[in-house]
Amino acid sequence: MSEAHPRKTVAVGDLALSYREAGTGPALVLLHGIGSNSGSWIHQLAALGADHRVIAWDAPGYGRSDPLANARPAPADYADHLAAALDALGIATADVVGHSFGALVAAAFARRHPARIGRLVLSHPAVGFGAAADAPLPEGAAARVRDLETLGPKGLAEKRAARTCGPHAAPEVIDLTRRVMGEIRPEGYRAANHLLARGDLLADLAGLDLPIRVMAGTADPITPEARCRDVAARLPGADYVDLGEVGHPSYAEVPERYNEALRRFLRRNR
């Protein structure tokens, strides 16, 4: 998968974090969803590397990245590891695209490291539940973890991956989604579900002076369109891009439309 952009590794404290990289230019960081990894971004690595240094990370516990020490991490744990990984890669500031769970990581990064983020794209954003560290997982997250425990990563992918896609998703998009979800590692997935519970996208972004674009589709069963529009409406200055009748992995279903919406936003001056 994504052989054109093989994984590399960077040391961040005690952890090794893996990522894929393409191109040179201003840094653009891609943060994947909870059922995904850096291999989901093949089209963005191929196209956006023409005018950016694109870094697609594997969140801790995904791809070849080591898991976090804390099994119930706070958003800050991911955000600070991302900041340290960018330090190690010599990147002072970056534009950031966070997809779904990745949007929560991006929001926590913006809150904790505001000087390091240029523009922010919230792609089909998860909003989080703002739960306490010791609270039980909300039902949706608990069901995902139960499926992983009973079915294993491949079974989880068989059951869930195709359902995330829109009605017009090509077979190769469904295959990609299934393959990537089948690479889930239990520690990373459980921890990410805890982040989903603890995260609070709107609270993290409140009061930050940051250009924000929210993008989503009308056929997404995971992060519904109405909620994504509501996120944009609640963030002063954010705009909203309707990607059309696409499901959750819009970056793979309509990569040209997705990349063009990113490019148009990234060309804006701050």
* Residue numbers at the binding site for ligand L4CXMVQC (CB under 6 A): 33-36, 99-100, 144, 160, 164, 222, 248
Q: How far is the CB of 40 from ligand L4CXMVQC (least distance, A)?
A: 7
Q: How far is the CB of 119 from ligand L4CXMVQC (least distance, A)?
A: 21
Token pair of 236, please? Answer: 């002063």
Q: How far is the CB of 124 from ligand L4CXMVQC (least distance, A)?
A: 7
* Phi-psi category of residue 237: left, alpha or beta, with phi > 0 → left and psi -120 to 50 → alpha: left
Q: Please identify, using beta-carbon distances, which residue of 165 and 205 lies nearer to ligand L4CXMVQC.
A: 165
Q: How far is the CB of 109 from ligand L4CXMVQC (least distance, A)?
A: 18
Q: Please identify, using beta-carbon distances, which residue of 33 and 67 lies nearer to ligand L4CXMVQC.
A: 33
Q: Are strands 94-99 and 27-31 parallel, antiparallel or unpaired?
A: parallel
Which residue's beta carbon is nearest to the bound ligand L4CXMVQC? 33
Q: Is the CB of residue 86 less than 8 Å from the CB of residue 113?
A: no
Q: How far is the CB of 210 from ligand L4CXMVQC (least distance, A)?
A: 22
Q: Please identify, using beta-carbon distances, which residue of 104 and 241 lies nearer to ligand L4CXMVQC.
A: 104
Q: At what angle do helices 101-112 and 186-198 cross, to 10 degrees?
A: 60
Q: How far is the CB of 169 from ligand L4CXMVQC (least distance, A)?
A: 13
Q: Please identify, using beta-carbon distances, which residue of 26 and 259 lies nearer to ligand L4CXMVQC.
A: 259
3-state helix, strand, coil in the chain (%, to 5): 45, 15, 40
Q: Is 236 exposed, middle or buried (0-12, 13-18, 19+ CB in 10 A)?
A: exposed
Q: Please identify, using beta-carbon distances, which residue of 48 and 100 lies nearer to ligand L4CXMVQC.
A: 100
Q: Please identify, using beta-carbon distances, which residue of 53 and 144 lies nearer to ligand L4CXMVQC.
A: 144
DSSP string, 47-65: HHTTTSEEEEEPPTTSTTP
What CA–CA distance (Å, rounded) separates 7 from 39? 9
Q: Which amino acid is at 187?
A: E
